[in-house]
Chain A
Amino acid sequence: MTDLGLPALRSGTESVPTTDEKQTGKDFTSDQEVRWCPGCGDYAVLKAVQSFLPDLGLRRENIVFVSGIGCSSRFPYYLDTYGMHSIHGRAPTIATGIATAREDLSVWVVTGDGDALSIGGNHLIHTLRRNVNMTILLFNNRIYGLTKGQYSPTSETGKVTKSTPMGSLDHPFNPVSLALGAEATFVARTIDSDRKHLTSVLAAAAAHRGTSLVEIYQNCPIFNDGAFDAIKSPDTKADAIIPLVHGEPVLFGAPLEDGRGAKALVRDEETGGVKVVATADVAAEDILVHDAHNPDPTMAFAISRLTDSGYLNTSPIGIFRQVQRPTYDDAAREQVASATTVPGDDDAADRSARLAALIGGGDTWTIL
């Protein structure tokens, strides 16, 4: 192959020890009783993750799940890996410490819309911009479940909840737009009930070296049931889901005679963004071809704006952006390694000698 002088792409799990032992979902299932509400979308995600993890072929002891607070944050207790159920909103900070300290760990964060976008919003954006090697699973049910049903930062404006009997006033965050704004290197959206799509996104996220943000639409049957019905119902989902596949034209809706979706995305010359048109009305070459690897996040952001901020009738699903950028943790370890590597190695005796030289340095004098 011709050497183009490009840096080799490093996988997200490249430095994590693998195992030849056959693993099953059961190996990743802890002995703790799962205690989410019946019908909760979290069950489906847990099952998908448990059955996906063996595919990575990593040693179980080298996988760490960290969570914050909220329904989804119970996740680590149900996985037989190393894990920490931490405090509200702070999981990305703890995961940053773990990922920076240890190259040989596969680090996962499980969080929710309140945990990641409200109390932990600051940590989320800074983790994304630093590009610390970890995968963040953001369970978005557009409601506060554990505190029994207040509106969340992704709830639609006007949401009537216990804390907003006259309707909520806040404009919601679009997690994908937020992540792209923070220049995240991997941003995807998937759905709790679509095991196949969810698993494919997880695989891509784990393979990505850097911070992967995966928004998972997750139904809360108790406090926000039906929030994602439009994209889940067989009757409506063809028109509701805008599927994003790298390298392919973005088409959706009921199929035309030629098999293409009836709706297509094209550039909107007026706004500089993108818009939905009837496929039949535009030339094939004008239909937007999704480029997740575009270093410029502008188009990905434009696509993310097609997500309804009110009740969800339409939403792009898939990998919005997947680009390579040096990761914070790799760079931090490289700095330490380059400072540590002295000719003649760095054993404990050497460190002691250098410590003695350090504290005994500067302007010194001796009293006999």
Chain B
Amino acid sequence: MAAGRARAPTAYALTPRGAHPTEAVRHDPCHTTGVEVVPQGRKARSALDRRLSSLLVVAPEKEVKQLDRVIIRFAGDSGDGMQLTGDRFTQETAAFGNDLVTLPNFPAEIRAPQGTLPGVSSFQVHFADHDILTAGDAPDVLVAMNPAALRANLGDLPKGATIIVDTHDFTARNLTKAGYTENPLDGDTLAEYALHTVDLTGMTIEAVKEFGLSRKDASRAKNMFALGLLSWMYGRPTETTNAFLAKRFAKVPDIRDANVAAFKAGWNFGETTEAFVVRYEIKPAKMAPGHYRNITGNLALSYGLIAGGVQSGLSVFLGSYPITPASDILHELSKHKGFGVTTFQAEDEIAGVGAAIGASFAGQLGVTTTSGPGVALKSEAVGLAVMTELPLVVVDVQRGGPSTGLPTKTEQADLMQAMFGRNGEAPVPIVAPQSPGDCFAAAVEAVRIAVTYRTPVMLLSDGYLANGSEPWRIPGLDELPTIDPDFATEKNQGSGDDAEFWPYLRDEATLARPWAIPGTPGLEHRIGGLEKGDGHGNISYDPANHDFMVRTRQAKVDRIADSLPPLEVDDPTGDAKVLVLGWGSTYGPIGAGVRRVRKAGYHVAQAHLRHLNPFPNDLGEVLKRYDKVLVPEMNLGQLSLLLRAKYLVDVVGYNEVRGLPLKAAVLADVIGGLVADAEGIDVDLTPASIQQESHDD
């Protein structure tokens, strides 16, 4: 899911389904899509050998199956290093050239009681030989490091999925902690899955014993053993992980060597054991030409803020208070003071935004980063920035609410808060990224609007975008807008000795007020939260002036729409009667759902909003072109409410607030139902009706 790619489905070649039905397919029914079996031969070996050159192991001949996509979920206790394991597998996969999307999922507790269901942490990675949009609805492979991880994730697996279990922790005590009365590895309860029971921990301890670590320290390398095994199964290149381990544990050579050894042992185990008879090959994806890296949303957003500073020539000032899932932006920006970035870890959310406003008043680019509860605390200060008309970027990495809610889970229920969550008429522009990599461009856009229009801007990311990752085509700097702070340097009213500086005399095109920073002689002025007189900016209680100023502040925000491109609508044939309109991180599942419906031969259009306030100028016209408009959201219909209010269009909402991304298959069914309604036809989305076998999500 590379940002900037055309939204129309990319053409790619698929192996015809069932071209070579073989024994291997039945042996391992977990991969039900795009399966082609390549008989073990010289050609396949040589291709693999190139990638496996770092490992000189004489291995039994193994079959290699071609897959077009796989979804793997690593699950374990929150202390088992599953996020790291998933991240390393992802980096290997990115380096190999697959398209990918990831979904980390972890508890809010740093170390929930060991071995319990609340303590389970998981990392899902979906990778493919073609353009994909989501982290996948259901894993093909589950790696479960303990009974709780198995129990917590089993319900998400389709029948036939592969399960790799570390048997070491399947003790009576741990089984009880996970709520099992019997060992699920015994008996028939897992008969519908391809179950591999492996003593990962035991083999890890054996593999690293030469380094003289304690048994506990030795067993901690088990995640690298698991990573090695999975890396072997899927032909991942190992260089990035070896380099990573060397760097990460450079100061503790024993730990470094143990991890490298465990990683290698896991690979060798796959290569030599008879337990795993098949390995898989997922060819690199055809992606748009360019320079790529894998990136999470929080990292891309941090880079976008730095880029906004460079492009505007302003020093970035971040005032922030730690909060999940936004803290990583504070961490990242604090590493980049070399770009003139100041990071201020404030005593609370209010001080964070207050200092950012102060820095903006002083001529820097004030930024504050938080999540929903923090936005609530900052609301009064954001209102001050509306009134004083100072640039400010407010980043809200949304999480499940209300109140403390679900700190580590995703949701997009802060749209109304961003839109209306202040006293008085206090319009604030809203920008939302649609994918992890897209957080970069969205942040630059937020800076552009904030600086150009002298206004606070809400940048609505979410927990899924923040921690999820995807390959990102690195933009050239020439693709970024130049942002002009256009500081005021001259008096702007009257002439000669009577000349004055009026801080609220506006630019006719943008309605932005002049930004005169302290240190500029002759432009001394006072601003504040009290209503300003039009032009001169002195305190005014005049009723007509207040009415005028309220309308002017709204008009200024509305006018931003004039600077926006027309809404991009993906309607390949122009025959669709149904439009699916979304915003934020639902882009992936919506796009995948739309593809499924199209693959089954039906028409549906898709559009996604980057700007939630103001809406693009042509949005009303686009909505009216379609008989039905579906608006899927991870809230109870907040965008739907805005659209109905503004355009009097009877949009249909699809709403889930489960703390997880929407599922493509569910959306496809919902879209199918609307298409059936709108076109008066029967819609069949069963797999047999889909022309090509891949779901492409």
Contact = CB atoms under 8 A, between A and B. Distances in A.
Interface of A: 17, 30, 32, 59-64, 66, 69, 76-77, 79-87, 90, 92-102, 104-105, 122-123, 126, 332-333, 335-336, 339-340, 342, 346, 348, 351-352, 354-356, 358-368
Given A93-B350, A366-B290, A366-B292, A332 B518 contact: no
Nearest to A348: B313
Q: Which 5 residue pairs across A and B have the least CB separation, nearest first?
A: A97-B358, A93-B354, A85-B528, A97-B355, A94-B358
A61 B519 CA distance: 5
B292 A364 contact: yes
Nearest to B338: A339
B358 A77 contact: no
17 contacts: A60-B524, A64-B361, A83-B527, A84-B526, A84-B528, A87-B381, A87-B529, A90-B381, A93-B355, A101-B364, A122-B351, A340-B339, A355-B307, A359-B474, A360-B474, A364-B293, A364-B474
Contact of B524 (A61, A86, A95, A352): A61
A65 to B, nearest CB: 8
Interface string B353-382: 111111111111010000000000000110
Contacts of B306: 355, 358
Contacts of B361: 64, 84, 94, 97-98
Contacts of B680: none
Contacts of A97: 317, 319, 344, 354-362, 366
Nearest to A30: B526
Contact of B358 (A66, A335, A359): A66
A354 B474 contact: no
A332 B354 CA distance: 17
A83 B366 CA distance: 17
Contacts of A66: 358
Interface in B277-329: 287-295, 303, 306-307, 310, 313, 315, 317, 319
B138 to A, nearest CB: 28
Contacts of A80: 524
A81 B354 CA distance: 20
Given A362-B293, A368-B289, A102 B350 contact: no
B523 interface: yes
Nearest to A338: B337
B520 A61 contact: yes
A80 B319 CA distance: 28
Nearest to A35: B539
A95 B295 CA distance: 36
B475 to A, nearest CB: 8
B168 to A, nearest CB: 32
A331 B336 CA distance: 16
B410 interface: no
B496 to A, nearest CB: 17
B355 A77 contact: no
Nearest to A69: B529
A336 B340 contact: yes
Interface in B94-147: 94-95, 97
A101 B519 contact: no
Contacts of A339: 336-338
Given A60-B524, A62-B519, A367 B289 contact: yes
A61 B380 CA distance: 28
Nearest to B91: A363
Contact of B519 (A76, A100, A105, A367): A105
Given A123-B347, A339-B337, A356 B526 contact: no
A86 B390 CA distance: 13
Given A85-B529, A97-B360, 15 more contacts: A59-B521, A64-B362, A85-B530, A92-B351, A97-B361, A102-B518, A336-B337, A339-B336, A339-B338, A355-B477, A360-B474, A364-B293, A364-B474, A365-B94, A365-B291
B338 to A, nearest CB: 4
A82 B521 contact: no
Contacts of A362: 293-295
B359 A87 contact: no
Contacts of A32: 526, 538-539
Contacts of B346: 93, 126
A178 to B, nearest CB: 15
Contacts of A98: 358-359, 361-362, 518
B585 interface: no
A297 B303 CA distance: 44
Contact of A360 (B291, B363, B388, B520): B291
A90 B350 contact: yes
Contacts of A363: 91, 94-95, 240, 293-294
A63 B518 CA distance: 7
A342 B337 CA distance: 12
A122 B348 CA distance: 9
B362 A105 contact: yes
A82 B526 CA distance: 6
A182 to B, nearest CB: 11
A99 B518 CA distance: 11
B522 interface: yes
A135 B319 CA distance: 21
B342 interface: yes
B74 to A, nearest CB: 19
A358 B337 CA distance: 13
B521 A105 contact: no
A354 B528 contact: no
A126 B352 CA distance: 12
Contacts of A94: 354-355, 357-358, 361
Contacts of A100: 317, 342, 344, 355, 359
B291 A332 contact: no
Contacts of A87: 380-381, 383-384, 529
A347 to B, nearest CB: 10
Nearest to A94: B358
Contacts of B353: 93
B131 to A, nearest CB: 12
B550 to A, nearest CB: 18
Contacts of A85: 526-530
B341 interface: yes
A348 to B, nearest CB: 6
B525 interface: yes
Given A85-B528, A101-B364, A367-B287, A123 B342 contact: no
Contact of A352 (B291, B317, B477): B477
Contacts of B358: 66, 84, 93-99, 101
B267 interface: no
Interface in B247-265: none
Nearest to A351: B310
A339 to B, nearest CB: 4
Contact of B351 (A61, A76, A93): A93
A86 B526 CA distance: 10
Given A342-B338, A365-B292, A101 B359 contact: yes
A86 B529 contact: yes
A249 to B, nearest CB: 39
Given A61-B519, A358-B303, A101 B529 contact: no
A64 B518 contact: yes
Nearest to B476: A356
Which of B319, B340, B344, B381 is the most central at the interface, judged by chain A CB atoms within 10 Å of its CB? Answer: B344
Contacts of B476: 356
